[in-house]
Amino acid sequence: MTNVLLADSIKIRRSSFDSTEYVFSSQLYNYKWISLNHFFKTFGNDFSINYDNWTLNAKLKNHKITFYGGSAYYKIDDNLYHLPMPIERVGNGLYIPLFEFIRVLKTHFYKTIKYNKTIDAIILTPGKYSLGLISINELSNGTMINIEADTLFNKQHCKIWDNDGWLYFTIYGANIDVNKTKEKYSYGHINEVDVRQANESVQLSFKFRNKFSSYDFHINEKTNSITINVRKEKTKDEVVKKRSKWLIDTIVLDAGHGGKDPGTVLGRLHEKDIALDIVLQLGKMLENNLGVKVVYTRKTDKFIPLWKRPQIANANNGKLFVSVHVNGVDNSPGTYGTETYLLAPRGTKKAIEIAAKENSVIQLEKNQDRYKNMLSPQQYILATMAQREFMKESLEFAQLVESNYSNRLTSKSRGLRQAGFIVLIGASMPSILTEVGFITNKKERNNLAKYSYRKKIATSLYDAILKFKTEQDKKINEIR
Ligand SMILES: [Zn+2]
């Protein structure tokens, strides 16, 4: 019989704090049915099934149990019992209605079996304790304490406070197996854990080695578990390190292309020249008005391989990387506007295609091997690790760049995009690539050819950098 409408699974745990097992189930005649095969394979022993007569044998809690496909009889040890309906054969398995099976389990094996609504699971032998294991995880910025629970506690029934290096947590209406949690805890910041059962509450105390600055807790409604987060006080070194991370004191300007690689060309106009002029103008403004160090990947008409550009940025301890390019598109003279790119988080096919044009310069490079597999999904993830840490800042900065273009240029913003530009891979700082206009659009081409228009672009970028630096400076003041 193959009246299967929906293959599904039922969550079952041996006890409250055991891991969840998923047992096959099916929807038949509007009931949920559970796979006897799968259940006994998971929770029983000596499982076997004879397909000549559809007889299933297994052991559960040292009792022999037998079910017969197509029959309403089942046997436990040598006693015969009767079900209100026959066992169904579905595929290679024997299925029984879930509510019937729970009755069988309750009668013969698990007297206290219960269904836990929050975790949507059947617990075969629920314990008498509502709290389970306490686990302590050290994080770089503090400590996370996780307490397993088999019921959903109300936040109002929990209380947290601290005194003299101790953190106290009380859960009213809870109980815990004190002996089971009495292992020796010595995890980094915590050197003592005390667990006590009072009349109607559980009292947890944690002694911290180092000062903590703040703490809170939350209750996970999916798992019932309670999580306490304790943030440690930052050491002087960490504050200095963190501050220097946000301090925009060195800006790396990357004029796209150069030397034997002219970039997009139309008539006498070369992308490499436009990009270099904008970068030089921008650099001068930054040095004169912002007092930051400016590093150029090139200051002249020189060929620099793509891989070398983020390396120059890293070697100079850059805090912001701006790569300037000019766009071009075949057969679409009407297309114009600015685009600013972030490195795509994944090497998706689309992101790689978009980047193909700017990446194609590697064909002019002598040692192309170093790019081998760089854009394969797995290599890409590794290669872009350095950049991912700065994704948020790169995005903030890219937004500033595009909005400042809108303020100053007669062009239009085509918005933020993501692509797998090699020049952005590996830079350990917020990084963007900006396409300042289309050389293939007549009006924009005429503009880009003018010094005054390129100055407007440089000024827009300057404004964006100024705003970004101001924001980052604010963050530094927030670091205690
Ligand atoms: Zn380019």
Find the mean pLDDT for residues 249-258: 96
Whether residue 252 has pLDDT greater than 70: yes
> What is the Å distance from ligand 1's center to 359 Cα?
9
> What is the Å distance from ligand 1's center to 259 Cα?
13
Whether residue 4 has pLDDT greater than 60: no
Verify that 355 and 263 share a domain, yes or no.
yes
**Residue 114, domain extent:** 7-125
**Cα gap 81→72, rounded to integer Å:** 8
Q: Enter the tokens of residue 281.
A: 């103008």
Verify that 64 and 209 share a domain, yes or no.
no
Does residue 383 sit within a domain? yes
- pLDDT-derived band at 348, boundaries 50, 70, 90: low
pLDDT value for 126: 85
Q: In the listed set 125, 148, 183, which residue is the last one of a domain according to the structure?
A: 125
Verify that 148 and 88 share a domain, yes or no.
no
- Give 467-480 pLDDT, tens digit per residue: 999 998 888 777 65
pLDDT value for 63: 94
User: What's the CATH code of the domain at 114?
Assistant: 3.30.457.10
Q: Which residue matches tokens 């909005």?
A: 403
Does residue 2 sit within a domain? no
Among residues 162, 159, 163, which one has the least CA distance to residue 203? 159
Whether residue 281 has pLDDT greater than 90: yes
- pLDDT-derived band at 224, boundaries 50, 70, 90: confident
Choose from 209-223, 285-299, 331-345 the range with maximum mean pLDDT. Answer: 285-299
Verify that 311 and 207 share a domain, yes or no.
no
Does residue 316 sit within a domain? yes
> What is the Å distance from ligand 1's center to 440 Cα?
13
Does residue 1 sit within a domain? no
- pLDDT-derived band at 205, boundaries 50, 70, 90: very high
Among residues 147, 149, 156, which one has the least CA distance to residue 130? 149
Q: For the chain, how many structural domains are there in total?
A: 3
Report the predicted TM-score, pTM, of the whole model to 2 decimal places.
Answer: 0.55
> What is the Å distance from ligand 1's center to 264 Cα?
7
Verify that 462 and 366 share a domain, yes or no.
yes
> What is the Å distance from ligand 1's center to 450 Cα?
19
Cross-strand bridge partners of residue 135: 146
Residues, beta carbon < 5 Å, ion ligand 1: 256, 263, 325, 358
- pLDDT-derived band at 5, boundaries 50, 70, 90: very low
Does residue 94 sit within a domain? yes
> What is the Å distance from ligand 1's center to 358 Cα?
5
> What is the Å distance from ligand 1's center to 349 Cα?
20
Verify that 120 and 258 share a domain, yes or no.
no
- Give 233-242 pLDDT, tens digit per residue: 777 777 777 7
Q: How is 364-403 classified by DSSP, letter by letter?
A: GSS-GGGGTTTTSHHHHHHHTHHHHTTHHHHHHHHHHHHH
pLDDT value for 258: 96
> What is the Å distance from ligand 1's center to 209 Cα?
54
pLDDT value for 338: 96
- Give 113-155 pLDDT, tens digit per residue: 988 887 788 999 888 888 888 888 887 778 889 898 888 898 9
- Give 185-195 pLDDT, tens digit per residue: 556 678 888 89
> What is the Å distance from ligand 1's center to 246 Cα?
29
- pLDDT-derived band at 172, boundaries 50, 70, 90: very high
Q: In the listed set 125, 143, 159, which residue is the last one of a domain according to the structure?
A: 125
Question: Taking all residues of the chain, what is their mean pLDDT, rounded to a whole number?
Answer: 88
Verify that 263 and 411 share a domain, yes or no.
yes
Which residue did the predictor score with more confidence, 182 or 19?
A: 19
- pLDDT-derived band at 28, boundaries 50, 70, 90: confident
Q: In the listed set 79, 103, 125, which residue is the last one of a domain according to the structure?
A: 125
- pLDDT-derived band at 60, boundaries 50, 70, 90: very high
Which residue did the predictor score with more confidence, 30 or 366?
A: 30
Verify that 404 and 261 share a domain, yes or no.
yes
Helices then strands, counting H and E runs in the chain, come out as 11, 28
Which residue did the predictor score with more confidence, 375 or 196?
A: 196
User: What's the CATH code of the domain at 148?
Assistant: 2.60.40.790
Verify that 329 and 453 share a domain, yes or no.
yes
Whether residue 378 has pLDDT greater than 80: no
> What is the Å distance from ligand 1's center to 423 Cα?
10
Whether residue 373 has pLDDT greater than 70: no
CB-based contacts of 80: which residues, under 8 Å, 6+ apart? 73, 74
Whether residue 197 has pLDDT greater than 50: yes
pLDDT value for 177: 86
Looking only at the bridges linking them, the beta strands covering 21-28 and 55-60 are: unpaired
Verify that 272 and 384 share a domain, yes or no.
yes
Whether residue 289 has pLDDT greater than 90: yes
349: helix, strand or coil:
helix
- Relative orientation angle of helices 271-285 and 451-478, to the nearest 10 degrees: 50
> What is the Å distance from ligand 1's center to 337 Cα?
15
Verify that 181 and 47 share a domain, yes or no.
no
Choose from 216-220, 281-285, 310-314 the range with maximum mean pLDDT. Answer: 281-285
Find the mean pLDDT for residues 423-452: 93
Verify that 300 and 415 share a domain, yes or no.
yes
pLDDT value for 2: 37
Find the mean pLDDT for residues 204-209: 91
User: What's the CATH code of the domain at 259?
Assistant: 3.40.630.40
Does residue 155 sit within a domain? yes
Whether residue 351 has pLDDT greater than 70: no
pLDDT value for 187: 62
Residue 259 CB neighbours (<10 A): 13
Whether residue 211 has pLDDT greater than 80: yes
Distances (CA, A) of 103 to 96, 97, 174: 11, 10, 29
pLDDT value for 1: 36
pLDDT value for 382: 67
